[in-house]
Amino acid sequence: MGNSFNEQFDQHGSWRREFALRLKLLSGWLKDHDLLDAAVKERLRRLESQMRSDKVMVAFVAEFSRGKSELINAIFFAGYKRRIMPASAGRTTMCPTELGYDSEVPPCLRLLPIETRLQSQPLMEWRMATEKWERLDLDVNDPAQLAQAFEKVAEVLHVSKDEAAALGFWHEETPEDNPMVNAEGLVEVPRWRHALINIAHPLLKQGLVILDTPGLNAIGAEPELTVNLIPQAHAVLFILAADTGVTKSDLAIWREHLATSAENVDSRLVVLNKIDTLWDSLSSPVQVQAQIERQRVISAEILGLSKEQIFPVSAQKGLVAKVNDDAQLLEASRLPELELALSQGVLGRRQKILRTAVAAGIVELRTEAGRAIGVRRRDLAEQMLELKGLRGKNIAVIKHMRSRIEQEQADFDVSGARIHAVRSVHVKLLRDVFHLLGTNTQRSEMAELTTALRQPGIKLGVRKAYASTFERLRAGLGKAQTTSAEIHSMLTGTFRQLNAEYGFSLQAPREPDLARHERDLDLLERSHNQYLSVGNIFRLARPEFADRLVRALGTRLRVVYESALGEVELWNKSAAAQLDAQLRERRRNFGRRLEAIERIQQAASGLDERINEISSQEMVLDQLDAKLTELTSHLINIPDSPAPTDPDPLRTA
Ligand SMILES: Nc1nc2c(ncn2[C@@H]2O[C@H](COP(=O)(O)OP(=O)(O)OP(=O)(O)O)[C@@H](O)[C@H]2O)c(=O)[nH]1
Ligand SMILES: [Mg+2]
């Protein structure tokens, strides 16, 4: 079994497919045995979508011309037997380019015109506005056509300085960062703001998303990239070139965009590319090796890493070696070492996280489905007791029993009003939580922040404005947590009462722990703070730039709050579904008991028959419970399966 990134990724994919299949089986089985209540259904749906939508994003970030695009070609696309992403001297990739797969969309390249920068919507919203993107259909079986289409990401426009400033590419305050002005006084800017490539490449189909980025100033110009895409990537490859060493602008990118916090350092891989430029026929292999090591040590020192964290490779020779099946050259390119680190580090971590998350969901699912079995078991036990008590009794006693059951049934129907009252208090409190976590609250917070940032002379107060927004957001989350705890204790109290009165076995599920979301807020704040401190003061003073940043924040917030809200909803569903299930079972139970009495009244043998029936039903329930345990643990313990042999011609060695 090889260890190339592609093969490892395949294993991850087959594990996910196996999981989806087993989940489907479990769902069918639950349905057949009438164990699919609303909460269980919701859990299944979530597990399924969690697995299906699991994406792994690998981002390539570096100054221009370090070989990002070439490295993408070498690692992922060598199977096309040619260069697919444009890679050439000078600035090539002009706009951030995302490669992924969405089965709902035909294979295509979509390009968002740069002019959209003049409007305030964040990139996330433009993604939905498909008609605003220029679309080029792609033929995945024709590598030449693909490569030709991808050339588009290198397109530029020439505009006046004012236009460039409006688009965010010209800053009077920091002239050293500005692009060159040509003889006619025009400035070169990217023609596109963002490119999305959708192709059914085997890796992309399994959820890999690759992000190629342009160099230093272009990264800074798109807040979405800095505060959203790069921090959220599961792995970021930072690329240096062996022929230039660590330059000032390399260091600026490293500090501003990659070394932003200690905890994400292990998802960063630093690549020292172009080692072939040090291959030199006049030096011995040992001398060349020593030179590469020296470069490695120096780079590590400057970046504050250990030497082992830097991977020397030659992307170009690696690509050539794969295209020509040249094993010796491939080894010399040292590309396989980088691929191994990438696959073990990123995928290993990703799979572990996913496994832990789904395992927790499955345990809950098992508890919820198991509860329904428990209710049925208890009902049977009660019936058994009741019937055994009737043994040897005369007709009058049996008749009396019947009227007692009917009375119980009538009393129970009256209790509906009480249960309704419990529900309405629950719903009222829940509405408060929904409000705290709802879109209106986020919207008004963002509006307030925007207003604060527009105050004249805000420059130095920018950080403070952000800080107080985050303070309020955290307070809101805290309040939602407190209210949820109140709901929990109210439910616990009323459930206990109902249990005592009707012999139910309701158990109020624990309220969700919103601390995780608070940590997400902290992370968000940190990534923004980072952005606010890195010499963006001049940019921040521009209202349209500040607006863009706030909107980028808004889209991230939405994700955090939607996920918190989802947990609250699920929790609520689980409580409500329990009550529903017990009520339903109880009503059925009355029916069954009355039916049994009727049979006993009609035939003397009815009683023993019914007792035997109940015994065998109890056995069926035991089997059901055992099967449920088996099916759920089966889901948790899926082994890492080897990759299936896939005849796909695009697979690389
Ligand atoms: N000698 C050598 N050249 C390389 C290597 N990798 C990339 N190059 C060359 O370096 C130049 C830049 O490579 P790209 O892949 O376009 O670099 P990039 O980082 O994507 O640059 P931008 O798209 O401009 O941001 C191209 O001419 C590549 O052929 C390598 O390993 N060795
Ligand atoms: Mg490039």
Query: Is residue 311 within 8 Å of residue 67, measured between CB atoms?
Result: no
The CA 370 to ligand 1 mean position distance, Å, reads: 58
* Antiparallel, parallel or unpaired: β 108-113 and 134-137: antiparallel
Provide the token pair at 414: 């009256």
Answer whether residue 347 is part of any domain.
no
Residues 328 and 398 in one domain: no
Answer whether residue 419 is part of any domain.
yes
Range of the domain at 104: 56-108+196-333
Please tell me the residue having the least CA distance from ligand 1 atom 32: 274
Give the pLDDT score at 459.
64
- Residue 312 sits in a domain whose CATH number is 3.40.50.300
Residues 304 and 451 in one domain: no
Residues 535 and 598 in one domain: yes
Residues 254 and 383 in one domain: no
The CA 70 to ligand 1 mean position distance, Å, reads: 6
- In the DSSP assignment, the letter for residue 181 is B
Angstrom distance (rounded) from CA 458 to CA 546: 11
Name the residue of 84, 236, 316, 330 whose CB sits within 8 Å of the most ligand 1 atoms, as the mutation to test its pocket: 316
- Which of left, alpha, beta for 457 (phi over 0: left; psi -120 to 50: alpha)? left
Side-chain half-sphere of 542: how many Cα atoms within 13 Å? 19
Residues 293 and 389 in one domain: no
Query: Is residue 582 within 8 Å of residue 374, measured between CB atoms?
Result: no
Distances (CA, A) of 446 to 368, 431, 437, 440, 450: 39, 22, 14, 10, 6
- pTM for the structure as a whole: 0.77
Residue finishing a domain among 333, 354, 387: 333
**Residue 93 Cα: closest atom of ligand 1:** 23
* Angle, CA of 296, 58 and 11, to the nearest 5°: 105
| CB of residue 333 inside a 6 A radius of ligand 1 | no
Residues 613 and 469 in one domain: yes
Residues 319 and 257 in one domain: yes
**Residue 212 Cα: closest atom of ligand 1:** 20
| CB of residue 69 inside a 6 A radius of ligand 1 | yes
Please tell me the residue having the least CA distance from ligand 1 atom 16: 87
Distances (CA, A) of 102 to 10, 81, 194, 598: 18, 24, 17, 60
- In the DSSP assignment, the letter for residue 53 is T
Q: What is the SS3 assignment for 156?
A: strand
Dihedral angle computed from the Cα positions of residues 231, 232, 235 and 237, in that order, rounded to the nearest 10 degrees: -40
| CB of residue 93 inside a 6 A radius of ligand 1 | yes
Give the pLDDT score at 392.
77
**Residue 70 Cα: closest atom of ligand 1:** 15
pLDDT per residue as tens digits for the range 565-610:
988 988 888 888 888 888 888 888 899 888 888 888 877 677 888 8
With a CB cutoff of 8 Å and minimum separation 6, the contacts of 92 are 64, 65, 69, 86, 154
Residues 566 and 457 in one domain: yes
Residues 407 and 542 in one domain: yes
Report the domain count for the chain: 2
Give the pLDDT score at 3.
57
Scan for tokens 């011609």, then name that residue.
649
Q: What share of the chain is helix, strand, coil (3-state, %, to 5)?
A: 65, 10, 25
In the chain (653 residues long), the average pLDDT of successive 10-residue segments reads 68 82 91 87 86 85 94 92 92 93 91 90 84 92 93 94 87 78 91 94 84 81 78 89 92 83 73 94 88 94 90 97 96 93 77 82 88 88 86 82 89 80 84 91 91 76 88 94 92 89 85 90 84 67 77 86 89 87 87 85 78 91 93 81 44 40
Give the pLDDT score at 364.
86
Residue type, 634: H
Give the relative orientation of helices 348-389 and 606-636 as an angle to the nearest 10 degrees: 170
Name the residue of 60, 61, 63, 65 whose CB sits within 8 Å of the most ligand 1 atoms, as the mutation to test its pocket: 65
HEC string of 54-78? CCEEEEEECCCCCCHHHHHHHHHCH
User: Looking at beta carbons, which pairs linking 399-404 to residues 24 or more positions away fall under 8 Å?
Assistant: 399/601, 401/597, 402/594, 402/597, 402/601
Answer whether residue 121 is part of any domain.
no
pLDDT per residue as tens digits for the range 143-186:
999 999 999 999 999 999 999 888 888 888 777 778 888 899 99
| CB of residue 11 inside a 6 A radius of ligand 1 | no
Answer whether residue 401 is part of any domain.
yes
| CB of residue 257 inside a 6 A radius of ligand 1 | no
Answer whether residue 139 is part of any domain.
no
Residue type, 547: D
Residues 498 and 619 in one domain: yes
Answer whether residue 24 is part of any domain.
no
Residues 544 and 441 in one domain: yes
Answer whether residue 461 is part of any domain.
yes
Distances (CA, A) of 406 to 124, 385, 582: 60, 18, 19
* Strand (E) or helix (H) holding 211: strand 208-212
Distances (CA, A) of 503 to 17, 372, 375, 379, 568: 43, 14, 10, 10, 28
Residues 325 and 392 in one domain: no
Provide the token pair at 164: 């460039």
Name the residue of 63, 69, 222, 295 whose CB sits within 8 Å of the most ligand 1 atoms, as the mutation to test its pocket: 69
Answer whether residue 142 is part of any domain.
no
| CB of residue 168 inside a 6 A radius of ligand 1 | no
| CB of residue 151 inside a 6 A radius of ligand 1 | no
**Residue 317 Cα: closest atom of ligand 1:** 31
| CB of residue 319 inside a 6 A radius of ligand 1 | no
Distances (CA, A) of 515 to 98, 364, 563: 32, 19, 12
Provide the token pair at 280: 């030199």
Angstrom distance (rounded) from CA 446 to CA 448: 5
Q: What is the SS3 assignment for 81?
A: coil
Query: Is residue 61 within 8 Å of residue 230, measured between CB atoms?
Result: yes
